[in-house]
């Protein structure tokens, strides 16, 4: 029995299955997603020009169309398309065999390879679902392509899994994991097809079997380290969270080692528990990194789409699946039912805070594209205040030069208020002013752009004096939910969305309300307005509260306008509507405080909330909701079938003679 077949049975086992009704709903949504593309013809997508100067062509879209087409055709038993699916898959494999520069580049091959591996796993000669739908010639080309990639790209030294060494990130967090997961999956299928592959040596002299074992140990250590250190450097990114975690699904679905499958299942559960507690009806909030302007204004995300299928949240995600969704729709993984209850019942979650301390501060050896975060203190305090009506959150960190941060932490930092209705947001984020791709016409990248302070629903923020590729301070007010229907009252702009009141104050200089035009919409076609600060470095205060806590909006306005406020050239002193005192040093000094204490807190927790708790560097997470507690254990055994790290260098010493193709 394969790992995936075993996991399909485990999904039905007590303790890890959804309720019968919930499982039926999930299955129905999954079936509808598969059927949504039934009968669609193949849509040819050519290989694209380079994204960056000096890089190879980009075949990501080309491969994506082929692989998604073939996956759907084989899954739906669309026999009339079998011949075309095989022909296009063969063409895809031969393209990468002939174009090694494209195959080995970061922008093409591994983005879709996990989906292709599932096709081989299910429909190849030894397929576990419908063997033989993949033609022998196509499968042979896949093996040639797969071994070539492993030979060129796998290094035992890169699979080091001793503790914090897993934090040595190459290119970016999601790229690093995608590449390593692709290597493990390809090796897994090569060994399944023919165990003799295990004795073949790769470029560094190690056997393929040694590399396969090393990468599996790496991922078990990688998952434990992230659980105990606030997860990803690309903190809670709407864009890259799924791109990263999707590469853990194969470990859960395919591994022959029960320790690996258990740790992977727990890791995916932890990812979804963290997502569940910081969203309203599928719209994720809280402080994030690497959220591009298009994604910032659009609360829909790949995580939201997967959550629709898992939890039945907002039907805005009931759409035709893309290449990003195949792993979700194919995997036997289902979230623990407790996570589903956290996700679906915002009223029962009530009002609460979430605290984390993600990594982001660099070590001296950090040089792009190699990221080396300080593994013990990232100088970041991530704080979220959540209610049934809104979520507001940010990442707090010192005003330090850009070189102090891993770029994947400081790029496109996101924070503000999310209300729940699709795209209803209030986001105080400076304008981006940088572009780096060929043919780009819109700015979409900034670094170290802002710094902030928050307690409960009071957020005070400013453009960072060390910002890179960053324009003036501004506030996005979405048309969705009527957030941009602001009314000015003295120094404040007031708005309401659903059960929440919000107020914005531009502290220094004036501001103008500007409708988002075609250029400012950044191709995302989201309607709304910007409140643009005339002083590019003006601090901005945002107050948000539940309407049910006030007699009416007039009472909220009166309380906001009565807040204590004092501004000097060097500091802002402000007491928010929740009673917290903010001292913001505007000269870049370290004197900023909240209630007299340093605003960047070094907590003893990886995650601390009423629903998810993990001590810093802990290896057991506790999920709690409605009186039920579930423990996610990331520890592994050291006996047969278990793992102990530290073997990569030993493999290098043993396997020292080169293998020549």
> Which band of pLDDT confidence, cut at 50, 70 and 90, is reported for residue 11?
very low
Largest CA distance in the chain: 79
- For 48-143, strand residue ranges (E) read none
Query: Residue 109 has what pLDDT?
Result: 95
> Which band of pLDDT confidence, cut at 50, 70 and 90, is reported for residue 88?
very high
Compute the distance between CA of residue 280 and CA of residue 417 in angstroms, rounded to an integer: 11
Compute the distance between CA of residue 495 and CA of residue 497 in angstroms, rounded to an integer: 7
Contact yes or no for 5/129 (Cβ under 8 A): no
> Which band of pLDDT confidence, cut at 50, 70 and 90, is reported for residue 654?
very low
Taken as a whole, the chain contains a residue count of: 661
Determine the angle formed by the axes of helices 302-311 and 337-344, rounding to 10 degrees.
Answer: 110
**Per residue in 38-63, pLDDT tens?**
999 999 999 999 988 889 999 999 99
Q: What is the DSSP letter of 51?
A: S
Contact yes or no for 88/46 (Cβ under 8 A): no
Compute the distance between CA of residue 201 and CA of residue 658 in angstroms, rounded to an integer: 7
- For 282-396, strand residue ranges (E) read 283-284, 352-356, 370-371, 381-386, 391-396
Q: Which of 2-16, 240-254, 320-334, 613-627 has the lowest mean pLDDT?
A: 2-16
**H-helix or E-strand spanning residue 333:** none
Whether the predicted pLDDT of 4 surpasses 80: no
Query: Residue 16 has what pLDDT?
Result: 39
Query: Residue 13 has what pLDDT?
Result: 42
**Per residue in 111-159, pLDDT tens?**
999 999 999 999 999 999 999 999 999 999 999 999 999 999 999 999 9
CA-closest candidate to residue 475, choices 516, 419, 525? 516
Output 651 or 121, whichever has higher pLDDT: 121
Contact yes or no for 498/389 (Cβ under 8 A): yes
DSSP per-residue letters across 475-531: EEEESGGGTT--EEETTEEEEEETTEEEEEEE-SS-EEEEE--TTTTTTS---EEEE
Query: Residues with Cβ < 8 Å from 13, sequence gap 6 or more?
Result: none
Query: Residue 453 has what pLDDT?
Result: 98
Q: Which of 41-55, 117-131, 430-444, 637-651 has the lowest mean pLDDT?
A: 637-651
Whether the predicted pLDDT of 646 surpasses 50: no
Whether the predicted pLDDT of 14 surpasses 80: no
Q: Is 287 exposed, middle or buried (0-12, 13-18, 19+ CB in 10 A)?
A: buried
**Average pLDDT score over residue span 503-523:** 80
Measured CA distances, 201 to 152, 659, 661 (Å): 11, 5, 9
Sheet strands side by side (includes 571-575): 565-567, 571-575, 581-585, 593-594, 597-598
Q: Average per-residue pLDDT in the chain?
A: 90
Query: Residue 587 has what pLDDT?
Result: 84
Global model pTM greater than 0.85? yes
């Amino acid at each position: 029995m394969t790992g995936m077949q075993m996991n399909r049975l485990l999904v039905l086992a007590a303790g890890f299955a959804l309720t019968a009704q919930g499982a039926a709903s999930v299955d129905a949504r999954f079936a509808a997603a598969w059927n949504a593309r039934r009968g669609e013809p193949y849509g040819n997508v050519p290989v694209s020009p380079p994204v960056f100067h000096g890089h190879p062509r980009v075949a990501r879209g080309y491969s994506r169309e082929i692989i998604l087409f073939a996956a759907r055709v084989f899954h739906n038993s669309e026999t009339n398309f079998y011949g075309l699916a095989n022909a296009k898959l063969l063409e895809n494999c031969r393209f990468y065999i002939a174009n090694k520069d494209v195959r080995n580049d970061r922008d093409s091959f591994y983005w879709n390879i996990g989906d292709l591996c599932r096709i081989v796993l299910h429909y190849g000669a030894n397929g576990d679902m419908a063997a033989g739908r993949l033609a022998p010639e196509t499968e042979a080309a896949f093996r040639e392509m797969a071994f070539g990639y492993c030979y060129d790209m796998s290094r035992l030294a890169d699979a080091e899994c001793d503790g914090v060494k897993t934090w040595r990130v190459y290119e970016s967090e999601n790229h690093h994991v995608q590449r390593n997961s692709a290597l493990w999956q390809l090796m897994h299928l090569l060994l399944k097809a023919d165990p003799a592959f295990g004795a073949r040596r790769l470029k560094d002299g190690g056997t393929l079997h040694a590399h396969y074992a090393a990468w599996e140990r790496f991922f078990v250590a990688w998952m434990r380290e992230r659980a105990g250190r606030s997860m990803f450097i690309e903190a809670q990114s709407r864009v890259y969270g799924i791109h990263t975690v999707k590469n853990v699904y194969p470990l859960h679905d395919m591994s022959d080692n029960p320790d690996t499958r258990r740790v992977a299942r727990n890791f995916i559960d932890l990812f979804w528990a963290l997502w569940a507690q910081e969203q309203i009806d599928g719209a994720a909030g809280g402080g994030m990194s690497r959220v591009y302007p298009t994604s910032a204004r659009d609360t829909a995300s790949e995580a939201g789409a997967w959550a629709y299928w898992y939890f039945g949240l907002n039907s805005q995600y009931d759409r035709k699946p893309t290449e990003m969704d195949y792993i979700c729709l194919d995997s036997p993984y289902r979230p623990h039912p407790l996570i589903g209850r956290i996700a679906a019942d915002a009223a029962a979650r009530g009002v609460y805070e979430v605290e984390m301390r993600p990594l982001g501060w660099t070590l001296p050896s950090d040089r792009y594209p190699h990221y080396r975060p300080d593994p013990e203190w990232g100088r970041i305090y991530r704080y979220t205040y959540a209610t049934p009506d809104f979520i507001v959150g940010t990442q707090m960190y010192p005003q330090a030069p850009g070189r102090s941060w891993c770029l994947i932490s400081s790029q496109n930092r996101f924070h503000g208020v999310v209300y729940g209705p699709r795209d209803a947001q209030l986001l105080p984020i400076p304008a981006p002013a940088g572009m780096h791709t060929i043919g780009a016409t819109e700015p979409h990248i900034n670094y170290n752009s802002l710094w902030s302070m928050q307690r409960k629903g009071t957020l005070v923020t400013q453009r960072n004096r060390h910002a890179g590729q960053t324009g003036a301070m501004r506030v996005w007010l979405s048309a969705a939910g009527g957030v941009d229907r602001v009314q000015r009252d003295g120094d404040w702009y007031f708005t309401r969305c659903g059960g929440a009141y919000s107020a914005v104050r531009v502290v220094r200089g004036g501001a103008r309300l500007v409708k988002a035009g075609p250029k400012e919409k950044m191709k995302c076609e989201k309607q709304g307005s910007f409140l643009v600060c005339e002083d590019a470095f003006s601090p901005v205060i945002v107050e948000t509260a539940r309407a049910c806590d006030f007699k009416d909006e007039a009472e909220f306005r009166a309380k906001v306008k009565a807040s204590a406020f004092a501004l000097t050239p060097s500091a802002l002193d402000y007491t928010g509507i929740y009673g917290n005192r903010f001292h913001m040093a505007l000269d870049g000094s370290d004197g900023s405080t909240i209630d007299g204490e340093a605003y960047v807190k070094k907590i003893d927790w990886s995650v601390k909330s009423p629903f998810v708790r993990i001590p810093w560097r802990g290896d057991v997470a506790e999920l709690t909701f409605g009186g039920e507690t579930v423990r996610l254990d990331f520890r592994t055994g050291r006996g047969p079938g278990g793992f102990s790290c530290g073997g990569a260098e030993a493999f290098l010493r043993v396997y020292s003679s080169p293998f020549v193709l």
